[in-house]
C-alpha cells in the first residue's frame, strides 16, 4: 500500500516529505477508528478469499467434465459456486457499509477539527483571509478528502488482499505462466506513476481556481458586494473574470478525465494481452498433457483477479492522489497556530462592578506569517513585514461604574485599545486587567460574560430577530427578549412586523435600517448583561433621528456598568467621568470635559474644530457614575 501511495507523490523531495507528513496525519485521524478498521480488514480478507475460491472451483468443474466425472460432482461444484456468490455479495455489502462508516466518521472528525480551529483564530486571521477561500477548504477540500476513505480505502485494502491471494494461488498452479503474465506488469507501473503525478498537479490547480471562484461569489453575492458591483457598473468584467477561472477548471477537468481514461484503457489492453498469453501458452501445455484443462481455465479467471485489482488500485491511487491534495490544503489551515490561548488554570473574576486597567501596554498587529497562509489570501507569498507598534506604554484605569471616553484622530489607536479588553488580541508588553485580574488569566467564558461590545457596523446573522438576540443568551425567555427590545427602543418596530421576533433580518441585517440594526445589537448586549460595556463608534454613520434613538438605548445599556466609549462626536461624551485623548498610540491628555478645555491642548483643538460656527449640542450619552 505504501508503495502505491508513494507513486502518487511528486518526484521532488520536498513534495515527497510533505505527502508523507500528510499521510501520517491522516492516519492519526484514523487511529480512534482502529477497531472498525480491523473489522473492515477481516471483511476484506473474507471477500478476497471468496473471490479466489470461485475460479479454483470453476477449474475443478472443467476438469470433472473433461475427465468424464459424474453429474453429482459437477452439480455440487456449481451449487458451491452459487453459495459463494451469495455469501460474497453479503460480505461485499457489509464491507462497503463499514468503509463508509469509517470514512464518514473520519470526515466528521476532520470537519469539527477545522471548524473549531478556525474559531480559535485571532481577528487578524479573518481580516487577512478571503472568506470564500476558507469556506472552500471546509467544503470542496473536505469532500475531496472524503473520497480517500469512502472510495479509496475499500479499493486499496480489498484489492491489495485480493492481489496477494491471487498471486499465491497462480504461482502454486503454474509459476511459469504466472511469471510470463507478470512480464507485462512494467507497462502498468510506468504510466501509473506518470499519470498519478500529473493528475495531482491538475487537482491542485483546480482546487486553487475553485477556491478563487468561491471567494468571488462570497464577496460579490453579499448585499454590500452586489451593491458595489451595481454602483460602479462592472458586471461584465466580473463575469469575464469568473468565466476565465471556470473555463480553466473545465479544461483541467477534461484533461484529467482523458488522462485517467487513457490510463484505464491501457490497463485493459495489458490485461487482454496477458489473458491471450495464458490461453495460448496454457492451451499448448494442456494439449501436451503438461497442464490440466481446468487449470488453464482457473489461471485465466484468476488473471482477471490479478489485473482487475491492479486496475482498481490504479483508480484508487488517483483518488488517493486527489485526497492527499485535499488533506494538505485542509492541514494548511490546521497548521496556523492560534495566538490566543485559554489558560489551563483560569482565575475567577470577583463579583460586582469591575474596573478596567491598562498597565504600560505596548501592541503591534501580528505579521502575516503568524496568522495567515498565502493560499487563503490569494497571493504567491505572504507579506513578511512586521507592523510598527500601534500602542506605546498606554496606562489608565476605568473605575467600577465609570464611563471613560477615548477620543482622538482616526488611526490613533482607540479601537485597538478597545479590542484588547475582550482579548480579540493580546498585548505585546504590559497588561490589561479587570479588577486586578489579567485578561490572559481568565477563561474565555468568564471574559465573554463580563465584557460586551457594540461596534459601528453591528453585525447580525441571516436569521430571525429572536435567533440574533438568543445568540447572547440562549436560555432567555420571551419576556426577557421583549424587555431587551423595549429598552433598546425597538419594540414598536418589532411589534409592527408580521412575524414579530421571528422576522428574518437578512444577511448582516440589511433588511433593517442602520439605526435599527444598531438598536438590535444593543438589545443583544442588554440581554447578555455584561458588567463592562465597550462602545466603538456605536452611533457613527447614523442620521440625527437614528442617533437620538440609539443614544437613548445606549443610556439603558450603560446604566450601572463600567463603560469604555469611543466617539468622534465630542458632544456625546462630554459628561463622561474621564476623557482620554489618544494620538499616535499614546495618551496625550486626560481629564474631564471642562478640565481638558481649560488646558487649551489637543482636546480643545478638536472641540473647536468640530463645533466651529455651531452651537454645542446637549449631551446625550452620560455615565452612571458621572461627576456632578
pTM of this structure: 0.68
Q: How confident is the model at residue 432, as a pLDDT?
A: 95
* Torsion of Cα atoms, 423 then 428 then 434 then 437, to 10°: 110
CA 131 from centroid of its chain's CA atoms: 10
- Provide the pLDDT confidence category of residue 8 given band limits of 50, 70 and 90: very low
Residue 535, beta-bridge partner list? 454, 565
Phi, psi of 463 (to 5 degrees): -160, -170
- pLDDT higher for 439 or 622? 439
C-beta separation of 461 from 451 below 8 A: no
Classified as helix, coil or strand, 387 is: coil
Residue 628 has pLDDT above 70, yes or no: no
Of the listed ranges 16-25, 61-70, 237-246, 334-343, the least confidently predicted one is 16-25
Backbone conformation region of residue 307, classed left if phi is above 0, alpha if psi is from -120 to 50, else beta: alpha
- Provide the pLDDT confidence category of residue 623 given band limits of 50, 70 and 90: very low
Helices (H), 120-184: 123-128, 131-136, 142-147, 154-173, 175-181
Of the listed ranges 138-152, 220-234, 610-624, the least confidently predicted one is 610-624
Highest mean pLDDT among 181-185, 205-209, 377-381: 205-209
Residue 407 has pLDDT above 80, yes or no: yes
Specify the DSSP element, H or E, that contains 583.
Answer: strand 578-583
Please state, in angstroms and rounded to a whole number, the distance separating the CA atoms of residues 417 and 422. 10
Q: How confident is the model at residue 58, as a pLDDT?
A: 78
The cell numbers describing 426, all together, are: 493580546
The secondary structure of residue 453, as a DSSP letter, is: E
C-beta separation of 48 from 161 below 8 A: yes
Which of 265-268's residues contact partners 24+ apart within 8 Å by CB, and which partners?
266/187, 266/191, 267/188, 267/307, 267/310, 267/311, 267/314, 268/311
How many Cβ atoms sit within 10 Å of the Cβ of residue 574?
23
Q: How confident is the model at residue 590, as a pLDDT?
A: 92
- pLDDT higher for 596 or 305? 596
- pLDDT higher for 241 or 544? 241
Q: How confident is the model at residue 621, as a pLDDT?
A: 46
The cell numbers describing 533, all together, are: 460595556
Please state, in angstroms and rounded to a whole number, the distance separating the CA atoms of residues 47 and 55. 14
What domains can you pick out in the chain, each with its CATH number?
A: 2-334 (1.20.1560.10), 356-372+387-611 (3.40.50.300)
Percent of all residues in the chain with a pLDDT value above 90, rounded to a whole number: 11
Highest mean pLDDT among 281-290, 342-351, 529-538: 342-351
Of the listed ranges 3-7, 163-167, 253-257, 430-434, the least confidently predicted one is 3-7
C-beta separation of 245 from 209 below 8 A: yes
Please state, in angstroms and rounded to a whole number, the distance separating the CA atoms of residues 173 and 564. 86
C-beta separation of 401 from 585 below 8 A: no
Classified as helix, coil or strand, 398 is: strand
Residue 426 has pLDDT above 50, yes or no: yes
Please state, in angstroms and rounded to a whole number, the distance separating the CA atoms of residues 3 and 158. 16
Classified as helix, coil or strand, 393 is: strand
- Provide the pLDDT confidence category of residue 582 given band limits of 50, 70 and 90: very high
The cell numbers describing 531, all together, are: 458588567
Which of 168-174's residues contact partners 24+ apart within 8 Å by CB, and which partners?
169/52, 169/56, 169/302, 170/299, 170/302, 170/303, 170/306, 173/295, 173/298, 173/299, 173/302, 174/282, 174/285, 174/291, 174/295, 174/299
Mean pLDDT of 542-566: 74
- Provide the pLDDT confidence category of residue 190 given band limits of 50, 70 and 90: low
Residue 78 has pLDDT above 90, yes or no: no
Mean pLDDT of the chain: 78
pLDDT digit string, tens, across residues 128-145: 777 777 777 777 777 777
- pLDDT higher for 269 or 76? 76
CA 279 from centroid of its chain's CA atoms: 54
Of the listed ranges 252-266, 317-331, 609-623, the least confidently predicted one is 609-623
Residue 199 has pLDDT above 60, yes or no: yes
Choose among 130, 142, 91, 270: nearest CA to 211: 130
Mean pLDDT of 107-117: 83
- Provide the pLDDT confidence category of residue 273 given band limits of 50, 70 and 90: confident
First to last CA, the chain: 80
Q: Strand 437-438 and strand 391-398: pairing?
A: unpaired
Mean pLDDT of 290-299: 79
Q: How confident is the model at residue 150, as a pLDDT?
A: 62
pLDDT digit string, tens, across residues 353-369: 899 999 999 999 888 77
Q: How confident is the model at residue 14, as a pLDDT?
A: 35
Residue 80 has pLDDT above 90, yes or no: no
Q: What is the CA radius of gyration of the chain?
A: 35
- Provide the pLDDT confidence category of residue 539 given band limits of 50, 70 and 90: low
- Provide the pLDDT confidence category of residue 318 given band limits of 50, 70 and 90: low
* Torsion of Cα atoms, 127 then 132 then 135 then 139, to 10°: -160
Q: How confident is the model at residue 547, as a pLDDT?
A: 66
Q: How many degrees, rounded to 5, is the angle at CA 518 between CA 512 and CA 221?
A: 50
Q: How confident is the model at residue 442, as a pLDDT?
A: 93
Residue 306 has pLDDT above 80, yes or no: no
C-beta separation of 544 from 579 below 8 A: no
pLDDT digit string, tens, across residues 280-294: 777 777 777 777 887
Choose among 12, 370, 319, 329: nearest CA to 139: 329
Helix 13-30 and helix 71-119, axial crossing angle in degrees, nearest 10: 100
Phi, psi of 533 (to 5 degrees): -115, 130
Helices then strands, counting H and E runs in the chain, come out as: 24, 10
pLDDT digit string, tens, across residues 482-525: 988 888 888 888 888 888 888 888 777 777 877 788 888 888 88
Amino acid at each position: 500500500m505504501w508503495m502505491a501511495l508513494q507513486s502518487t507523490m511528486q518526484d521532488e523531495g520536498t513534495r515527497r516529505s510533505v505527502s508523507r507528513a500528510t499521510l501520517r496525519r491522516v492516519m492519526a485521524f484514523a487511529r480512534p477508528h482502529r477497531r472498525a478498521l480491523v473489522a473492515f480488514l477481516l471483511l476484506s480478507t473474507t471477500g478476497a478469499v471468496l473471490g479466489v475460491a470461485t475460479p479454483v472451483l470453476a477449474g475443478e468443474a472443467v476438469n470433472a467434465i473433461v475427465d468424464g466425472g459424474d453429474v453429482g460432482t459437477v452439480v455440487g461444484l456449481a451449487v458451491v459456486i452459487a453459495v459463494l456468490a451469495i455469501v460474497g455479495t453479503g460480505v461485499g455489502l457489509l464491507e462497503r457499509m463499514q468503509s463508509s462508516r469509517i470514512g464518514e466518521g473520519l470526515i466528521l472528525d476532520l470537519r469539527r477539527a477545522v471548524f473549531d480551529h478556525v474559531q480559535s483564530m485571532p481577528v487578524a486571521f479573518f481580516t487577512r483571509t478571503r472568506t470564500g477561500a476558507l469556506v472552500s477548504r471546509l467544503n470542496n477540500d473536505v469532500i475531496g478528502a472524503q473520497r480517500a476513505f469512502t472510495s479509496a480505502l475499500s479499493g486499496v485494502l480489498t484489492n491489495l488482499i485480493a492481489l496477494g491471494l491471487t498471486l499465491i494461488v497462480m504461482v502454486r498452479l503454474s509459476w511459469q505462466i504466472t511469471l510470463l503474465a507478470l512480464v507485462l506488469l512494467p507497462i502498468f507501473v510506468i504510466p501509473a506513476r506518470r499519470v498519478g503525478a500529473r493528475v495531482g498537479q491538475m487537482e491542485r490547480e483546480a482546487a486553487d481556481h475553485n477556491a478563487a471562484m468561491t471567494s468571488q461569489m462570497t464577496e460579490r453575492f453579499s448585499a454590500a458586494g452586489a451593491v458595489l458591483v451595481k454602483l460602479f457598473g462592472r458586471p461584465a468584467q466580473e463575469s469575464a473574470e469568473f468565466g476565465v477561472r471556470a473555463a480553466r477548471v473545465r479544461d483541467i477537468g477534461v484533461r484529467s478525465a482523458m488522462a485517467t481514461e487513457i490510463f484505464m484503457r491501457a490497463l485493459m489492453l495489458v490485461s487482454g494481452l496477458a489473458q491471450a498469453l495464458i490461453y495460448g501458452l496454457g492451451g499448448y501445455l494442456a494439449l501436451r498433457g503438461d497442464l490440466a484443462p481446468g487449470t488453464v481455465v482457473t489461471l485465466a479467471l484468476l488473471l482477471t483477479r490479478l489485473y482487475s485489482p491492479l486496475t482498481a488500485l490504479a483508480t484508487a491511487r488517483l483518488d488517493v492522489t486527489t485526497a492527499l491534495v485535499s488533506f494538505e490544503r485542509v492541514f494548511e489551515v490546521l497548521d496556523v497556530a492560534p495566538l490566543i490561548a485559554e489558560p489551563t488554570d483560569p482565575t475567577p473574576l470577583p463579583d460586582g462592578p469591575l474596573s478596567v486597567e491598562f498597565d504600560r501596554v505596548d501592541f503591534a498587529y501580528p505579521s502575516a506569517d503568524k496568522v495567515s497562509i498565502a493560499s487563503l489570501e490569494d497571493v504567491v507569498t505572504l507579506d513578511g513585514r512586521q507592523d510598527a507598534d500601534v500602542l506605546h506604554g498606554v496606562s489608565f484605569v476605568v473605575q467600577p461604574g465609570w464611563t471613560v471616553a477615548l477620543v482622538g484622530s482616526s488611526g490613533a489607536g482607540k479601537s485597538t485599545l478597545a479590542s484588547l479588553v475582550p482579548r480579540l488580541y493580546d498585548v505585546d508588553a504590559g497588561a490589561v486587567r479587570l479588577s486586578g485580574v489579567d485578561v490572559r488569566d481568565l477563561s474565555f467564558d468568564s471574559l465573554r460574560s463580563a465584557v460586551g461590545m457594540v461596534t459601528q457596523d453591528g453585525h447580525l446573522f441571516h436569521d430571525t430577530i429572536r435567533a440574533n438576540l438568543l445568540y447572547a443568551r440562549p436560555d432567555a425567555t420571551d419576556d426577557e427578549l421583549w424587555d431587551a427590545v423595549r429598552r433598546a427602543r425597538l419594540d414598536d418596530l418589532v411589534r409592527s412586523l408580521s412575524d414579530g421576533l421571528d422576522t428574518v433580518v437578512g444577511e448582516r441585517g440589511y433588511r433593517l435600517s442602520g439605526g435599527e440594526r444598531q438598536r438590535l445589537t444593543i438589545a443583544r448586549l442588554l440581554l447578555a448583561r455584561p458588567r463592562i460595556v465597550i462602545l466603538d463608534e456605536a452611533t457613527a454613520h447614523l442620521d440625527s433621528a437614528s442617533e437620538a434613538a440609539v443614544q437613548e438605548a445606549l443610556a439603558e445599556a450603560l446604566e450601572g456598568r463600567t463603560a469604555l466609549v469611543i466617539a468622534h462626536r465630542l458632544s456625546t461624551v462630554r459628561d463622561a467621568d474621564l476623557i482620554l485623548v489618544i494620538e499616535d498610540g499614546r495618551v496625550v491628555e486626560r481629564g474631564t470635559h471642562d478640565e481638558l478645555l481649560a488646558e487649551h491642548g489637543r482636546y480643545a483643538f478638536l472641540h473647536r474644530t468640530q463645533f466651529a460656527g455651531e452651537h454645542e449640542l446637549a449631551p446625550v450619552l452620560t455615565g452612571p457614575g458621572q461627576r456632578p
